[in-house]
Amino acid sequence: FLAIWLQWISNVIWFPTVLSFIAGTIAYIFDPRLAENKLYMVIVILVAYWAGTFANFRGMKTSGSISSICVIAGVFLPGILIIALGIIWLTSGNVLQITFSAQTLLPDMSNVNNIVFLAGAFLIFSGMEVSAVHANSVRDQKRDFPRAIFLSAGIAVLILIVGSLAIAIVIPQKQISLVAGIMEAFRLILNRYHMGWMVPIIAFLVAFGSIGELTTWIVGPSKGLYTTARDGNLPPFLQHMNRHGVATHILVTQGLVVTVLAFMFLFMPNVSSSYWILSALCVTLYLTMYLILFASAIRLRYIQPEVHRAYRIPLGNFGMLVTGITGMAGALFAIAVSFLPPSQLNTGSTLFYELFLIIGLLLMLSIPLLIYHFKKPSWKQKNVGERN
């Protein structure tokens, strides 16, 4: 229950960050200056999120169709385009904002605040464990499922590194916005080649793709939380399911939390600060869930060795130990660095930053434990909210 709660609540906290990216992208369709307007951000976040929530009330088939179209048009096409434009910029003799050399290949480790953003990069890979629910639907789990995981990880790494480099060679470091950096890079490159008319089109495609991703994730984690609710870990009110098989009461509760978090944008020094501090909290919560995941995998291999599993990590228990310990070490490292405020952003005082993350982490860990402690036997009602 604690693990699925952490997966759910970390995604709820992540929603305002991806929505702020969507809002910043949409601003380039009308007026790029809106990307730094906090009130505009809050309005777009709330409208887009609640629209996606109500769209999901019609079931997974609807959200799945939306997501498939959006990913192709709004993620792969702009991703390939920004990489191609970055290569053109690099090979056309334009001024580069970063230096390519052996000396600058590695980060400056003399200041630990320079590697804080690495914690945000871990979010690129979070959520891959969700695909495990489909392992039994794969024709050859031992062969095809690991291939799919490695392929998706490879694509994520490629887009993250090459796409980020394309932005970094065009925009000076201090001018990169966490919510609108990709669109600013598109604007500068396309204007350089007298193709500025394409910026609103690309902004629409990028926003379109992000909305598709958002639509899927709005309903995804709530399904896991609903399963634990049916086991009696949440009150009957949160066990309701509509005729389309959607846990609407959980989605509405989720939306109320997102609404409260969205107003954080009004109280932070700037939009990028709000984006980062919510991302840092999301990292700590999600990776705490991963600590539980890795520890459970190791323990289950030893206490239930006879259970048939669709996929097994090679090299037996040794392979599981190496994988689990490596995973836990990586998660602990990312959690540690996420508590360090980035020197490149104004996130308010260090005390505020640390207290926000510490209190946020303790609060989000305490809530499920208190619910579990005070749960009632009557909460486990087998047929509540089901529709055949």
Question: DSSP labels for 301-337?
Answer: HHH-TTS--S---SSHHHHHHHHHHHHHHHHHHHHHH
- Number of residues assigned to the chain: 388
- The 10 Å CB-count burial string (b at 16+, else e) for 81-106 is bbbebbeebeeeeeeeeeeeeeeeee
Mean pLDDT in consecutive groups of 10 residues from the start of the chain, 388 residues: 89 82 82 81 87 77 64 76 86 82 72 64 68 69 81 80 83 70 79 83 82 74 81 85 82 89 73 77 90 93 85 86 93 86 71 87 92 87 49
H or E element: which one contains 26?
A: helix 2-30
- CA of residue 233 relative to chain centroid, distance: 26
DSSP state letter for 94: P
Structure tokens at 355: 């207290």
Structure tokens at 31: 């007026």
Output the pLDDT for position 386. Answer: 44
> Distances from the Cα of 204 to the Cαs of 178, 217, 335, in angstroms?
18, 20, 34
Output the pLDDT for position 223. Answer: 77
Indicate the residue type of 125.
F
Distance separating alpha carbons of residues 184 and 18, to the nearest angstrom: 17
Distance separating alpha carbons of residues 375 and 388, to the nearest angstrom: 27
Output the pLDDT for position 180. Answer: 65
Output the pLDDT for position 320. Answer: 92
Own/partner long-range contacts of 264-269 (Cβ < 8 Å, ≥24 apart): 264/16, 265/16, 265/20, 265/38, 265/41, 265/42, 265/45, 266/38, 266/39, 266/42, 268/38, 268/347, 268/348, 269/346, 269/347, 269/348
Torsion sign over Cα 202, 127, 271, 48? positive
Which residues neighbour 26 within 8 Å (Cβ) at sequence distance 6 or greater?
A: 44, 203, 207
Decide if 201 contacts 122 (C-beta within 8 A).
Answer: no
